[in-house]
């Protein structure tokens, strides 16, 4: 089971790019990296998933170095509505541990 | 809207009681997962069912049990409730038994308050 480590909290101003890094030193060869977003009292929502290099979708980018021991979620030009908890998960769903995630607060 | 439904939305009960939480997965999804989230805590995986069979078990107490029915809806039964069982309970679904590329779709949750 790949353990992940993320910062407990981060603050950023509106309009800035935010990068949240997750460490997963014992990631297995077949493991994918998935990020979820959770607003208060709501279920988590899938943001992005990747295996290696870079993945981009309409809301975020995910950067994964060659050794795959870490990954960085990048949120471009954040707004107040991006204030949420962000979880980095590694591995198959039944082995996932959400942990406490990174609480991102966007400041006006 | 994820397509996953959970009922009830809120539940208030007393210690020692038993409750049942219900989850209907997205159309076509065969896997159902249950999670518990206590105040300011991360999500704790409880149990997973795939097509009616238990597939994985996490930190689920013996007082808790779950099942998935032929129509793929799932129920989480919580008995002998304690104050510490007060939490948000989320259900999630995915199309396959648990692959590395699976995306989980979460329901809105059931907030359980034990008094």
- pLDDT value of residue A95: 61
Chain B residues whose beta carbon lies within 8 Å of the beta carbon of residue A44: 43, 90, 92, 104, 106
- pLDDT value of residue A28: 86
Q: Give the HSE-up count for residue B63: Cα atoms under 13 Å, Cβ half-sphere.
A: 12
pLDDT tens across B28-78, in order? 999 999 999 987 677 888 999 999 999 888 889 999 999 999 999 999 999
Give CA torsion, residues B80, B81, B84, B85, to 10 deg: 120
Mean pLDDT across chain A: 90
pLDDT tens across A35-45, in order? 999 998 899 99
- pLDDT value of residue A26: 86
- pLDDT value of residue B97: 73
CA B16 centroid distance within chain? 20
pLDDT tens across B74-96, in order? 999 999 999 999 999 999 999 87
**Is the predicted pLDDT of residue A4 greater than 60, yes or no?**
yes
Mean per-residue pLDDT, A76-90? 94
pLDDT tens across A17-56, in order? 999 999 989 888 888 899 999 998 899 999 999 999 999 9
**Is the predicted pLDDT of residue B105 greater than 60, yes or no?**
yes
DSSP tag of A67: T
Residue with tokens 């209907």, as numbered in its chain: B24
Q: Is A55 on the interface with B (CB under 8 A)?
A: no
**Is the predicted pLDDT of residue A1 greater than 70, yes or no?**
no
**Is the predicted pLDDT of residue A94 greater than 60, yes or no?**
no
Of B41, B43, B106, the CB nearest to A45: B106
Q: Between the CA of residue B86 and those of A104, B11, B64, what are the distances in Å?
A: 25, 10, 13
- pLDDT value of residue B102: 76
Chain A residues whose beta carbon lies within 8 Å of the beta carbon of residue B111: 41
Q: Between the CA of residue A28 and those of A20, A22, A95, B12, B20, what are the distances in Å?
A: 21, 15, 12, 42, 37
Chain A residues whose beta carbon lies within 8 Å of the beta carbon of residue B108: 42-43
**Is the predicted pLDDT of residue B106 greater than 60, yes or no?**
yes
Q: Which chain A residue has the Cα nearest residue B39?
A: A41
- pLDDT value of residue B115: 96
- pLDDT value of residue A103: 95
């Amino acid at each position: 089971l790949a353990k992940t480590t993320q910062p407990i909290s981060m603050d950023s101003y509106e309009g800035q790019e935010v990068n949240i890094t997750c460490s997963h030193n014992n990631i297995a060869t077949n493991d994918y990296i998935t990020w979820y977003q959770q607003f208060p009292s709501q279920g988590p929502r899938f943001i992005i998933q990747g295996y290696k290099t870079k993945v981009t979708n309409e809301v975020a980018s995910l950067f994964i170095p060659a050794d795959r021991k870490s990954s960085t979620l990048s949120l471009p030009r954040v707004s107040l509505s991006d204030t949420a908890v962000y979880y980095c998960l590694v591995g198959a769903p039944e082995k996932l541990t959400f942990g406490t995630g990174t609480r991102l607060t966007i400041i006006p | 809207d994820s397509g996953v439904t959970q009922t009830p939305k809120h539940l208030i009960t007393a210690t020692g009681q038993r409750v049942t939480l219900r989850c209907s997965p997205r159309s076509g999804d065969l896997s159902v997962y249950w999670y518990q989230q206590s105040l300011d805590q991360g999500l704790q995986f409880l149990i997973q069912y795939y097509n009616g069979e238990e597939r994985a078990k996490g930190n689920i107490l013996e007082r808790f049990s779950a099942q998935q029915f032929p129509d793929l809806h799932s129920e989480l039964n919580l008995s002998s409730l304690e104050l510490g069982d007060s939490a948000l309970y989320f259900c999630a679904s995915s199309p396959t038994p648990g692959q590395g590329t699976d995306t989980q779709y979460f329901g809105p949750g059931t907030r359980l308050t034990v008094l």
